[in-house]
């Protein structure tokens, strides 16, 4: 018992304490050592958690509940103070309403409210803790090398780098607390804590653009916090419990609180029409983008919607959640097609996959639930890798535009090859993301609207990944490739996550069999939706090994072609005129009046998928779909 308490303390309090050490002003090797120890400890605790837990719920001492009653108003007052500082009346108004709900809850008849505070350490919680602790900690280690260069290029922010690491590391503890807490008051505290962290991290550089993005982020997420507080208050008032697991068993009585909690998940996971805050977060340093998109913040929304899935099953809310998630999936996939900004493509891809997870939670069958967890796991690994690769590329070439990445395979061969692993893992077999999408589409066959949206969104996904992959691998012949210079911290983390992506794909079937399927059946049981059980079992029949043999054969054939290649075999490309004999440019030819013209190779960005065009009608429609969560309660 003492061991599991120690592990849980390391997961929640450990990062918070380590973060506070950053505020003492330590620098250089000492700072790096503290960050490394904190991250490695968190990783070890996250991995050890499943082996030391002997019960799914762990009761906390009564004073923890009392402590929560005092911390909650402090958090809300902090948000109110930020609203005053940034002169945002929406933030101030929403914080005041939250404060009112907090006060009303405090003076509520507590004899009718069950105050128990417990930690839930079931399969879903352990999976999420593993994602936060491992992926989040690796991103923090990457940030050591990244911020050294970032300080050089952005000296105005150098004085606050310690504060940056304090928030970055503390973020991990807040996320672990959010995932493990069953008491919704504490859940709301950690929920708002992540909002404050994201606000500070997004605005870290202090530019006008960063300030505007941070302001937008806190405005939208405080709205989600207000929805969360409303759900907690209604649960205590109508049901007499602040325990999430108790509320989920109350059937029709819990529908209104559940609707508010679903609204909170939609804002946190940046579902349309709330996606603008996550797009604005791209101005932050790359480790922040990677952390927000892969293992924290937006994944909090995905975690909670999966947690609520059994309570939503069979209710009028479930269909709305499924349609809203599918709608976000297809529209943000289309928006990604029309982007040339690499970070924006990654952002829209993240929002699309978060929508797919919400859709799976709304479908609410064992297969759909397993699909949601599968996407949650494999998306976290692949997206962390891709964001860190784009950050490395941006520091090297000074641009995040995909069109500027032409010939990147020659300029940065190592980073490019690692990025290729990330891109392929998002769309091709036998990587886990494709398995998750296949299960999601399979589980939607009884809902034609959702099925069509998922198929369209999946097709668009292939389109924008293939386009980007083609751009970075397009390069002219070079007899010799030189490995680029990358910070050891950054290179180590990129290599670890890159290897982890490959290993996870090789082990996709065992991960599904040993981890994902049991988690799904533990929630829905063998008697729930029996038609889906046989399909759920059929996933075990997926054989990745033949595909690896095929890919290995292709790789060996390519390697043999490279080794046997002779420079005398080079032929210049056919252009619209005679090639000019230039040593450094084989794409220049004689054109009009015998003048030189250089061939331009560029991707095509379909005007149909232009951002203003789609969001002009997509955001209002998405808002109507989400608002119908409350409308169906009165039908």
The whole-number pLDDT of residue 35 equals 92
pLDDT for res 116: 65
pLDDT at 534 over 60: no
- Going 473 to 474 to 479 to 483, the CA torsion angle's sign is negative
What's 25's DSSP letter? T
Lowest mean pLDDT across 250-264, 311-325, 477-491, 605-619: 477-491
First to last CA, the chain: 49
Report the pLDDT value the prediction gives residue 158, as an integer from 0 to 100: 45
What's the pLDDT score for residue 34? 92
Distance between CA atoms of residues 251 and 11, nearest Å: 33
Residue 527 has pLDDT above 60, yes or no: no
pLDDT in tens, 96-108: 999 998 888 777 6
Lowest mean pLDDT across 404-408, 410-414, 547-551: 547-551
| 91 or 608, greater pLDDT | 91
CA 377 – CA 423 distance, rounded (Å): 16
CA-CA distance, 189 to 247, in Å (whole number)? 18
Strand pairing category for 118-120 and 57-59 = antiparallel
pLDDT band at 408; cut points 50, 70, 90: confident
Pairing of strands 588-590, 118-120: unpaired
Residue 356 has pLDDT above 90, yes or no: yes
Share of the chain above pLDDT 70, in %: 90
A 10 A CB-CB count for 617 gives 10
Separation between Cα atoms, residue 332 and residue 436, nearest integer Å:
18
Confidence at residue 454, expressed as pLDDT on a 0 to 100 scale: 93
pLDDT in tens, 484-517: 888 888 889 999 999 999 888 888 878 888 888 8
3-state SS, 288-336, equals HHHHHHHCCCHHHHHHHHHHHHHHHCCCHHHHHHHHHHHHHHHHHHHHH
Higher pLDDT, 509 or 531: 509
What's the chain's Rg over C-alpha atoms?
25
For residue range 224-237, what is the model confidence (pLDDT) as tens digits? Answer: 999 999 999 988 88
| Average model confidence (pLDDT) across the chain | 85
Q: What burial class does residue 352 get, using C-beta atoms within 10 Å of its C-beta: 0-12 exposed, 13-18 middle, 19+ buried?
A: buried
Contact 388, 139 (CB under 8 A): yes
Given a cut of 60, whether residue 387 has pLDDT beyond it is: yes
- pLDDT value of residue 217: 93
Q: What is the pLDDT of residues 334-354, one digit of tens each?
A: 999 988 888 899 999 999 999
What is the residue extent of each domain of the chain? 321-541
Q: Looking at residues 161-181, what average pLDDT do you find?
A: 92
Relative to beta strand 596-598, strand 588-590 is antiparallel
Q: How confident is the model at residue 531 (pLDDT cuts 50, 70, 90)?
A: very low
pLDDT at 586: 60
C-alpha–C-alpha distance, residues 256 and 45, integer Å: 37
Query: Which tops the pLDDT comparison, 407 or 214?
Result: 214
Residue 274: pLDDT above 50? Answer: yes
Strands in 434-553 per DSSP E: none
Q: pLDDT at position 530, please?
A: 44
Q: Which of 21, 15, 53, 283 is nearest to 132 (CA)?
A: 15
Structure tokens at 311: 């309570």
């Amino acid at each position: 018992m003492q061991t599991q308490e120690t592990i849980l303390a390391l997961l929640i309090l450990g990062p918070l304490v380590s973060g506070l050490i950053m505020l003492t002003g330590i620098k250089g090797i000492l700072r790096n050592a503290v960050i490394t120890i904190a991250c490695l400890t968190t990783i070890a605790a996250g991995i050890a958690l499943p082996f030391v837990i002997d019960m799914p719920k762990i009761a906390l001492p009564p004073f923890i509940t009392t402590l929560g009653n005092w911390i909650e108003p402090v958090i809300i007052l902090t948000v109110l103070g930020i609203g005053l500082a940034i002169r945002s009346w929406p933030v101030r108004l929403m914080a005041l309403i939250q404060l009112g709900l907090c006060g009303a809850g405090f003076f509520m008849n507590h004899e009718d409210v069950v105050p128990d505070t417990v930690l839930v350490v079931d399969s879903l919680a352990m999976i999420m803790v593993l994602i936060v602790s491992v992926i989040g900690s690796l991103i923090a280690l990457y940030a050591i090398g990244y911020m050294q260069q970032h300080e050089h290029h952005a000296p105005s922010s150098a004085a606050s780098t310690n504060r940056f690491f304090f928030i970055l590391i503390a973020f991990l503890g807040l996320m672990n607390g959010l995932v493990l807490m069953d008491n919704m008051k504490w859940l709301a505290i950690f929920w708002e804590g992540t909002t404050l962290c994201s606000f500070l991290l997004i605005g870290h550089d202090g530019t006008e653009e960063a300030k505007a993005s941070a302001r937008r982020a806190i405005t939208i997420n405080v709205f989600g916090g207000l929805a969360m507080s409303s759900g907690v208050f209604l649960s205590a008032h109508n049901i007499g419990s602040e325990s999430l697991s108790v509320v989920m068993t109350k059937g029709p009585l819990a529908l209104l609180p559940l609707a508010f909690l679903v609204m909170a998940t939609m804002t946190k996971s940046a579902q349309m029409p709330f996606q603008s805050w996550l797009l604005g977060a791209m101005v932050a340093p790359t480790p922040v983008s990677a952390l927000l998109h892969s293992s924290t913040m937006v994944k909090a929304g995905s975690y909670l919607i999966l947690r609520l899935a059994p309570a939503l099953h069979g209710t009028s809310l479930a269909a709305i959640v499924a349609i809203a998630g599918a709608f976000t999936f297809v529209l943000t996939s289309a928006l990604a097609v029309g982007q040339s900004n690499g970070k924006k493509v990654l952002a829209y891809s993240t929002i699309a996959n978060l929508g797919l997870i919400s859709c799976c939670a709304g479908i609410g069958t064992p297969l759909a639930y397993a699909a949601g967890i599968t996407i949650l796991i494999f998306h976290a690994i692949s997206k962390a890798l891709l964001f860190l690769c784009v950050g490395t590329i941006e520091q090297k070439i000074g641009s995040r535009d995909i069109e500027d990445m032409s010939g990147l395979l020659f300029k940065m061969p190592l980073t490019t090859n690692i990025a290729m692993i990330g891109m392929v893992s998002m769309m091709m077999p036998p990587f886990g993301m494709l398995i998750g999408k296949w299960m999601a589409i399979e589980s939607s066959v009884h809902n034609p609207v959702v099925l069509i949206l998922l198929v369209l969104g999946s097709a668009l996904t292939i389109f924008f990944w293939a386009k980007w992959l083609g751009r970075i691998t397009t390069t002219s012949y070079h007899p010799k490739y030189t490995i680029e210079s990358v910070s050891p911290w950054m290179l180590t983390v990129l290599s670890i996550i890159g290897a982890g992506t490959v290993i996870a794909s090789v082990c996709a079937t065992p991960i599904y069999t040993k981890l994902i399927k049991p988690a799904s059946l533990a929630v829905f049981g063998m008697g729930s939706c029996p038609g889906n059980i046989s399909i759920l079992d059929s996933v075990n029949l997926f054989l990745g090994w033949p595909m690896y043999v095929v890919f290995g054969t292709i790789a060996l054939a390519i390697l043999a072609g490279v080794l046997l290649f002779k420079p005398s075999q080079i032929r210049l490309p056919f252009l619209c005129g005679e090639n000019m004999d230039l040593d450094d440019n084989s794409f220049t030819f004689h054109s009009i009046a015998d003048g030189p013209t250089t061939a331009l190779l560029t991707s095509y960005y379909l005007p149909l998928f232009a951002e203003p065009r789609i969001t002009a009608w997509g955001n209002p429609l998405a808002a109507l779909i989400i608002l119908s969560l409350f409308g169906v309660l009165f039908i």
